[in-house]
Structure 1
Amino acid sequence: MVELQVNTNPDLKSKLIEEQYLQESNNLPIYLTKIEVVGGESFSNQFFQNLLSPILQNGDLTFIQLVNKIKSSQSKLIETGIFDKVAIQILPDNFYSLSSNKIKSYNNEPSLLTKVLIDLSAINLSNNQGFFNFNNEEYLNLKLNHINHNFNENNETWQDTKQEIIGGKLGLLYGNSTTNDLSVFTGFQLLKRNLINLDDGNFDSIKFFNGQFLKSSILNQLKYQKIEYLHDQSKNFPKNGYELLFNGEISSNQEQLNTNNLNEFIKTDLSINLYKSLFNEFFTTKFQAQLGGIYSFNNNNNDSNNNNKLTPIHPSDKFYLGGYNSFPGFSKNSVELQGGDQYYKLQTTLYSKIPTLLYAPPPPSASTIGLGNEQDLNPLRIYATGIIGNVVNSSKANLLEDENGAISYGFGLKYFNNWANFDIGYFFSKRLAFNNDTNSVNTAGIKDGLHFSISIGGSNNN
């Protein structure tokens, strides 16, 4: 008997018509003897019973009914997002122990003994990623499975202060594995934090947290995007679309040895990214807007001198701007050294291909032939960018009143690759206000000039 290959192409019916099987075999009676799954050893039987329920419901059916049930189960397997290969075959079962003449049949012709073979290749769900990073602001550093708890991706560096953190978060994550357009997370986080190596040179708002503090939070995160990439396989250079990110938390931060030192607050952060390409992706524009705030709604009842004094916000809960990944042209976290409870940032970047007279991309390797647009798997672009932003403490001023904002603009060259990134640029930076004490230009935190970064990484994910 001829072996039928059920292709993973979603248009299964069209594929079978092309192979001239379906026209003559739609009503062919089939007796399904068994379903064999290869490559799913790490998953339970109950897992497959739920996903393969359309096929398992009935074993006495026609060929076209079997094909439709296979399509339904195949879609369920793909939608889990944990298999990078789902291949299904319909094969004759020549070794079925029950003789075909003992199978009750009400058809004009006997049913064909058939089995379904499902060949799966699961994604490695437990994987490690590591990066070596080096730039003109930091020494060589290694990041392994790094999770940054600051919404706007800034590290906390307060002179020689170090922080010990232990904890975790638990919640529910909803996402569309087919389109990846929408992602929603809600959950609970518990962190035990301890600042060490504090000295007299630290700010008072930092020395307040000399001890162990327990932070408990209710987290809500929303991500919605509609993005077209320059190359669908690498997905490392968006060319058109938009992305909306929202992070919110309701938190309580309490000292372990003095329960009166309690701070409760709400923290929100909103980020919008817009992408637009022109002239056959020769130019690509990115616009980014970020806005965040923290509202603290309890007082320090342990202060006998001033009952209205607010308990400070923990340094790692504040917002920071400044540094290569955050605000190039300013030193790390230096837009406001103490951090703030309000911030905004607006940035526009124009990327451009390098004219072919100056640079021609190398020809595609043999492994990328047939992928389409192979030379843009990992694009190299020149860019020009402009940034304006500020971080303030609402106890001193709000974003609308504060005049100590920062502005930076520059140009450079950047290579986009998931595992090997390179960026070099030259920036000009300044403050928007004068120093009120000396009536001179405020240059605090400015670090303009040449900036560069190199990052090399890898993963054990197959």
Structure 2
Amino acid sequence: MTSKDISEELKRASQIARLEHSNTKPLYVSAIEVEGESSLRPLSDALYKAVFDPILSQPVQTLHYILNNFSDIRGKLMHTGLFQDVNVTLENDGSTSSVTRAKDMTLNGIQLGSVLPAVAHIKLSPLTYNTLSLTSTTSDSYSSAGGRLAFVNLLGKAENFVVQADLKYTPFSGRLDEKCFDARLLLPLQKNPSVKGVLDLNYASIDPNEQPFLSAEEMKKQNQVSLNFGVQKSWILENLNSVPVFYNGISLVSRNVESPVLTGAGLSSELFKPFEGSYVKSSFVSEILHDSRKFAGLFPTSGSRFSLMNEYVLSQSLNATDDLPAHPGHDKIRLDFEKHASLSGGYVINSLQLGFGGLFNLADSLAVVHPFDKFYLGGLNTLKGFANNSVGDKGGLFYFKASIASSFRLFHSSKNSPLRLQFFMNAGDVLRLMETRKPASSSGVSLIYRTNVATMDLTYALPVFNRKQDITKAGFSFGVALSFY
């Protein structure tokens, strides 16, 4: 409920009709009552006092300031991420004790004589969280299994602590290709929950054995540990039905590339040779996300999504002693945009997706960039019709992609049907140098199913244009993910 909505509630209350059309009238908030919160994990008294402080510290205010303060309080409660809605109403407090206290109230040191007492009712609509989930994914190129455990508001400070683990393996072989563990904490400021401290710890062990975009001498095992910490700020734009999020923080990454997987190979390609051993990188990361999409089920029907990430490399070193050339290194930018529009009452959804990324030198000499910091393109999630990470110069300094698609509900299906038939065209390229050349492109049709429990993508794609460096994947591809709560 906005400030305008609260004003309308006041106007409808006959007990305070004398305040109509008079924002300068004083009002005494005698009590604030909160209802609807989960009894299992309520917010702490300290957080409530911090959020309600503009009213508790000065209970007598003019109507104008009362409305503004409760509008801010509603926004702060929404920013905790625990509620899907917060409703604020004001009612006349006719109790004898409140009326007596109101007669002795002052505003800015001035005796007011008679002030109308009112009770603020705050009704909360809590969000439902799935604290434990298990996910299994199978596709024609990889499979994975993982779990996620969330601890929400255990301390009453609206904190969110999430632990996640994933295993990725090659289908039907049982060989582990990747092991990941991630722990992430978001802790809001008590007086302003729209500002959150972020702490993220991540570990990954990667075995790129038999990946089509790597040569034999490039198939090296790698262990990686990263620590990210920073500040996240969000805004609620009710006119756009969106919550833009901005993040600034520091990223510390340590990688250890082991010897070649092939026994006795003893070789190192030019791609990995500079990074054998222990590699450490520190950088300053900024991200912004704005998402105004509306959904029918899990399919976006209208609105847009925009994200921009910038990573400024502060330092990078090898074996903890040698600074790599071109210190401080490079600046990495990644931009993604998508737009959706529905036709015929949501029967047809047209979508546009664009992506661009670049690594830019910040010194006179050529910056040295770790292969895992470069860009890759190809696969069901990025460029259909091509093998995973196998478009253009695999491991490039620049990339771009574009996709247009039309999704149709099947006949006699509901507006929120989880099944759609999609026709698409996409194009993109990965480049080591900025140059003009014809990108790889493909077109095809997908049958897509999306629910909270299962997601499926069955695609038939044909490359329209490809180069000798591209690895195509014509014909059928599939991906299925199952989630258990």
Are the aligned partners of 2:99 and 2:117 in contact in 1 as well (CA < 8 Å)?
no
Q: Deviations over 1:196-230 (max 9, x none)?
A: 352437633124322111111111223345x4524
- Quote how far apart the aligned CAs of 1:68 are: 4.2
Does 1:281 pair with 2:346? yes
Does 1:137 pair with 2:171? no
Q: Deviations over 1:329-365 (max 9, x none)?
A: 21111114741112121211111222x2xxx23xxxx
Does 1:449 pair with 2:450? no
Which whole-Å CA distance do the structure 2 matches of 1:99 and 1:222 have between them? 49
Are the aligned partners of 2:377 and 2:429 in contact in 1 as well (CA < 8 Å)?
yes
Structure 2 equivalent of residue 12 of structure 1: 6
> Which structure has the highest strand share of the two?
2
- Quote how far apart the aligned CAs of 1:392 are: 2.2
Are the aligned partners of 1:83 and 1:120 in contact in 2 as well (CA < 8 Å)?
no
Q: Deviations over 1:420-448 (max 9, x none)?
A: 21111101126534xxxxxxxx3852121
Q: Deviations over 1:273-307 (max 9, x none)?
A: 232332322222212222222124568xxxxxxxx
Letter of the aligned partner of 1:330 in structure 2?
F
Does 1:255 pair with 2:321? no
Structure-1-length-normalised TM-score: 0.71
List runs of 5+ in structure 1 lacking aligned partners: 1-6, 150-154, 300-307, 362-374, 434-441
Q: Secondary structure at the match of 2:345?
A: coil
C-alpha spacing 1:457/1:93, structure 2 compared with 1 (3 Å): farther
Structure-2-length-normalised TM-score: 0.68
Structure 1 equivalent of residue 225 of structure 2: 166
C-alpha spacing 1:57/1:134, structure 2 compared with 1 (3 Å): same
Whichever of the two has the greater Rg, that structure is 1
Letter of the aligned partner of 2:440 in structure 1?
A
Are the aligned partners of 2:396 and 2:430 in contact in 1 as well (CA < 8 Å)?
yes
Does 1:380 pair with 2:419? yes
Are the aligned partners of 1:198 and 1:210 in contact in 2 as well (CA < 8 Å)?
no
Structure 2 equivalent of residue 243 of structure 1: 305
C-alpha spacing 1:416/1:161, structure 2 compared with 1 (3 Å): same
Are the aligned partners of 1:156 and 1:316 in contact in 2 as well (CA < 8 Å)?
no
Letter of the aligned partner of 1:214 in structure 2?
V
Q: Deviations over 1:29-75 (max 9, x none)?
A: 98654445564853353x4344324432544689x789747844653
Does 1:422 pair with 2:456? yes
- Quote how far apart the aligned CAs of 1:172 are: 2.7
Structure 2 equivalent of residue 322 of structure 1: 378
C-alpha spacing 1:127/1:10, structure 2 compared with 1 (3 Å): farther
Which whole-Å CA distance do the structure 1 matches of 2:99 and 2:92 have between them? 17
Are the aligned partners of 2:92 and 2:119 in contact in 1 as well (CA < 8 Å)?
yes
Out of 391, 395, 399, the residue aligned to residue 435 of structure 2 is 399
Are the aligned partners of 1:133 and 1:454 in contact in 2 as well (CA < 8 Å)?
yes
Higher relative CO (CA 8 A, sep ≥ 6), structure 1 or 2?
A: 1
Are the aligned partners of 1:54 and 1:73 in contact in 2 as well (CA < 8 Å)?
no
Are the aligned partners of 2:132 and 2:147 in contact in 1 as well (CA < 8 Å)?
no
C-alpha spacing 1:320/1:48, structure 2 compared with 1 (3 Å): same
Are the aligned partners of 1:223 and 1:243 in contact in 2 as well (CA < 8 Å)?
yes
Letter of the aligned partner of 1:141 in structure 2?
A
Are the aligned partners of 2:447 and 2:457 in contact in 1 as well (CA < 8 Å)?
yes
Letter of the aligned partner of 1:320 in structure 2?
Y
- Quote how far apart the aligned CAs of 1:128 are: 5.9
Structure 2 equivalent of residue 177 of structure 1: 236
Supply the RMSD in Å over aligned alpha carbons: 4.2
Q: Secondary structure at the match of 1:399?
A: coil
Are the aligned partners of 1:287 and 1:347 in contact in 2 as well (CA < 8 Å)?
yes
C-alpha spacing 1:34/1:347, structure 2 compared with 1 (3 Å): closer
Structure 2 equivalent of residue 348 of structure 1: 404
C-alpha spacing 1:332/1:54, structure 2 compared with 1 (3 Å): same
Structure 1 equivalent of residue 466 of structure 2: 432
Number of equivalences: 401
List runs of 5+ in structure 2 lacking aligned partners: 106-110, 149-163, 167-179, 183-199, 201-205, 211-218
- Quote how far apart the aligned CAs of 1:451 are: 1.0
